[in-house]
Amino acid sequence: MLEDRPKTFQVDARRRLLLLGGGMGLLFSALTGRLFYLQLLKSGLYRDMADDNRISLQLLPASRGRIFDRDDRLLVENNPDYQLVVIPELASQQLRHTGKESGGLLRLLELLRPLLQLEEKEIQAVLRQSSRQRPFLPLTIKTHLTWEEVSLIETRIHALPGVTIEVQTLRHYLMGNLASHAIGYMGEVTEADQARYPDTDFRPGDWLGKSGVERSVESRLRGMDGLREIEVNAFGRQVRELRRTPPHPGQDIHLTLDMDLQREAERALAESSGGTGALVVMRPHSGELLVMASQPTFDPNQFVNGFQPDEWRQLIQNPNRPLTNKAVQGQYPPGSTFKMVVVLAALRHGKLSDTDVVFCPGYTTRQDHRFYCWKLRGHGSISLTQAIAQSCDVFFYELADRVGIDAIHQQAKQLGLGALTGIGLEGERPGLVPSRPWKRKVYKAGWFPGETLITAIGQGYVLSTPIQLAVMMSAIANGGAIYRPFLVRPEEEQGDASHHSAEPPPLWHNHFRAEHLAMVRAGLEEVVHGALGTARTARLNDGIRMAGKTGTSQVARHRRTQSGAVMKNTARRLKDHAMYVAYAPAQQPEITVSVIVEHGGGGGSNAAPLAKRVMDLYFAKKRGEPMPPLTTPDAATTAPGTSDAEQPKEETDAH
């Protein structure tokens, strides 16, 4: 019995029992605490982990909106593209639980490296993007998977946690290089793009519009991705679909472009003496663009399919700048097409009447400096109508003296020059209309009287874009209204097959007096139909009358002989640009055309015939004549001439 044992033994036994009981109590408390921690505090985490083992999230990509022309002909569509996508959170959790502590996403990329031949720079790009976005969002590892790569991934999908193969859409431009500057091209998202769209969660490999309407209406073309939750077993096989949020496709858009006219314009430019330039066709009463052509062109499909190094180098190093949309980004001295600004300024300020006559001996002298007319022997006594028709420089030198640079500057701005047109295309240039304050700010110098004379014939500091000249000429054709040019039918018209919607309101209106416009229009009509007009080669078929103005834009300063004759430049890069602006029919204008042929020489012989080609086709199509099938343009439109051979001699307008 315990009582009969020594007292020291009894104390020792009790101590041991207490220690054992305390130990068992501590153990039970620890077990209870651990169960409390797992069952209550961490129940959500482990429930989510269990769900991760059986639930997979798959992105349902939205298709990008298609692009049609004004006649509902499909221009841009979408083709399937297989992409490898991972959810970093799933990859990290499942690989970490297997005891691989090297980092879930990095470990996964190492597993994929031999299967997809991933390069180190590709892996680093994926890791950088992963650090920028939330871990539960899908992350694109590689696009444009081949069938072999798809097969390799599918057979190993159970060992690649969080990985799925998605079918995205790949942009396809059915017309190749036709209207490529207007339509634009696609490219992968860059850091600059992410900054521009901060509310959009981009993934590596995502694409968006980089130029043209692909960029300007990105928000309408880009849809909203959906999401699919599916149950999978331990081997990654799908068991059933739990929930689906369908994607919302992007909106289809219809361009205002007439692709028959667009094709003719691009061919005409490619076949011209210069081989490079721009041509714009615009409806003068709305701003609707029927043609926006720029040469040389490029194939936007190459940006989707990828360039060979030599192809990309040739494209960006081409001196003719095929990636530049010369219709909105090319800035050129407008030459004699600017003379309409001077006439309207003089009429507005009462400095010119229909009875005024100026004598042209072939030059005029100001402050011991001789300013030449393009016609060395002079035009003699010449009226306003004759001066416009024959583009007499001396007549406009005289008007410039009467009116001054301030009035010329004001009138040019009112006609839309020297400012963005508002078309909304990336990279549009504003041109330049010089003024006294502008020169004082830029050159820290005053304005000289001779500079006013040079400005009056569209040379010197003044610069314009082809689309600005189309806006200017449209204002003369429609009675003074300035419209914003546009390439895409307004959003509320999408789905409406009718192309005869209400005309948009003008941005502002120049309130020209009717008699002043009549005087200007009479001169413009004589340019084409007068016996001495500078654009006689542009007369349209079927007796349709056109009103136009030729121009020659100097690239280099003209050298002259002792008699004053111009010494022709032989190098192509030093030749003048050929320009022409026009509208037709002369009495009830329907279309306005603006043409520039870079280094093409005189506007009358080298730019006006291009406008005739496009206008003749417009009226033929209006009469219902059949058009050739619309196919990809031939190779000539992408290979502009670069010959330095002597261009045909201009016999009419040299300014």
In whole angstroms, give the CA distance from residue 87 to residue 96: 14
In the beta sheet, which residues pair with residue 226? 60
Give SS3 for 209.
strand
Question: Of the candidates 339, 284, 343, 338, which has an alpha carbon nearest to the alpha carbon of residue 513?
Answer: 343
**Do the beta carbons of residue 610 and residue 580 sit within 8 Å?**
yes
524 phi and psi, to 5 degrees?
-65, -35
d(CA 412, CA 436): 14
> Tokens 């301030």 appear where?
406
CB neighbourhood size of 226 (10 A): 15
Task: Classify the C-alpha dihedral 115-121-124-125 as positive or negative.
Answer: negative
Rounded to 5 degrees, what are φ and ψ at 356? -70, 140
What DSSP element (H or E) covers 147? helix 147-155
Joined tokens for residue 641: 């001439």
Residue 489, both tokens? 């039918």
Residue 563, helix vs strand vs coil? coil
Residue partners of 133: CB distance under 8 A and separation at least 6: 139, 201, 203
Exposure b/e, 45-56, CB count within 10 A at least 16 = b = eeeeeeebbebb
Per-residue buried b or exposed e for 300-316, using 16+ beta carbons within 10 Å of the residue's own CB? bbbbbeeeeeeeeeebe
Q: Which of 336, 464, 474, 594 is labelled catalytic?
A: 336
Phi, psi of 649 (to 5 degrees): -70, 130
Of 359, 412, 362, whose CA–CA distance to 386 is shortest? Answer: 359
- Residue 279's DSSP bridge partners are 293, 595
Describe the strand order of the beta sheet including 226-232 as a list of residue ranges: 55-60, 226-232, 238-245
Residues contacting 504, CB < 8 A, separation 6+: 286, 287, 483, 484, 486, 490
Residue 592: strand pairing partners = 282, 583
Calpha distance 462→456 (Å, rounded): 9
Per DSSP, helices labelled H in 244-383 are 259-271, 301-305, 309-317, 326-329, 339-348
* Structural element, H or E, at residue 116: helix 104-116
Strand partners, 168: 81
Rounded Cα–Cα distance for residues 503 and 45 (Å): 61
Q: Around Cβ 419, how many Cβ atoms within 10 Å?
A: 14
- The partner residues of 332 in beta bridges, in order of sequence, read 464
CA–CA–CA angle 101, 104, 107 (5° rounding): 85
Residue 424: how many CA atoms within 13 Å on its side-chain side?
Answer: 12
Residue 336 annotated as catalytic: yes
The residues assigned a catalytic role are 336
